Amino acid sequence: MADKTLVTWHEHRVQRARGCVVWFTGLSGSGKSTLANHIDFQLNEMKAPSFLLDGDNVRHGLNASPELLEPDYGSPFAERFGLSFAADDRSENIRRIGCVADLFCSAGLITLTAFVSPYRKDRQLVRDTVLRSGGEGDFVEVFVDTPLEICESRDPKGLYQKARAGEITGFTGIDDPYEPPEHPEVHLSSGSESVEESAGQVIEYLKNLGKLG
């Protein structure tokens, strides 16, 4: 049995004003990334420090799949550390992103994350992580509540079509569940609201929270 890893938390001398984590969740094609990008642009125009963590982008690097890691690191490494879309790997994907988002939040950034993040337990664990190192108001869950039929009609990446054809399995909303938030801080109806209207609700919430001047 390997020796227990011994690590010690070191307090920082520099105390920074915390930002917050704005966690967009919803089905693939719900408009999470489009909305988060729009808000990120608005925050930049307002000179508010922000950063966007996008689900697909993160899986090109930090949470890369085994097939992306294998050419540079070899098969054993890739199989151990690469992430697929299986349930356990999805949970690890969200855990890693939650830790990164909390670090960015600690640096004073309004950290926007756009991930399907289908399981309530995983989202709750991220919330717990952020609130444990900060406080109330540091985690804002935004439910982009777009009906499956609208998401499927958009199908920007052709994933629903492949899932329906059986070419991919474990796809959220088709043969894998999506557990919607029960008490999100912001509940958006992307199927009936414009991007500008939805973005306005999130910006207004952040203002009321005191995260924006």
For residues 127 and 25, what is the distance between their CA atoms, to the nearest angstrom?
Answer: 13
Across 49-53, 134-138, 178-182, least confident range: 134-138
**Closest CA relative to residue 90, chosen from 124, 54, 60, 55:** 55
Please give the tally of structural domains in the chain.
1
For residues 19 and 65, what is the distance between their CA atoms, to the nearest angstrom?
Answer: 30
Residue 15 belongs to some domain of the structure = no
Residue 122 belongs to some domain of the structure = yes
- Over residues 178-207, the mean pLDDT reads 92
**Which residue pairs from 185-190 have beta carbons closer than 8 angstroms and sit at least 24 positions apart in sequence?**
185/140, 185/141, 185/142, 186/140, 186/141, 186/142, 186/143, 187/143, 187/145, 188/35, 188/142, 188/143, 188/144, 188/145, 189/145, 189/146, 190/26, 190/30, 190/31, 190/35, 190/144, 190/145, 190/146, 190/150
pLDDT at 1 over 60: no
Residue 9 belongs to some domain of the structure = no
Q: What residue has token string 């109330």? A: 136
Q: What domain range is 177 assigned to?
A: 20-209
Residue 154 belongs to some domain of the structure = yes
Q: What residue has token string 């967009």? A: 24
pLDDT of residue 186: 97
Residue 98 belongs to some domain of the structure = yes
pLDDT at 2 over 70: no
- The radius of gyration of the chain's CA atoms, rounded to the nearest angstrom, is 18
Task: Decide if 117 is catalytic.
Answer: yes
Q: List the catalytic residue out of 117, 153, 189, 190.
A: 117
Residue 4 belongs to some domain of the structure = no
Tens of pLDDT, residues 71-98: 999 999 999 999 999 889 999 999 999 9
Q: Quick one: tokens of 168?
A: 């991919």
Banded pLDDT at 156 (limits 50, 70, 90): confident
Q: Quick one: tokens of 114?
A: 């756009």
Residue 117 belongs to some domain of the structure = yes
Residue 8 belongs to some domain of the structure = no
For CA atoms 47, 142, 139, 88, the dihedral sign is: negative
For position 121, which CATH number holds?
3.40.50.300
Report the predicted TM-score, pTM, of the whole model to 2 decimal places.
0.92
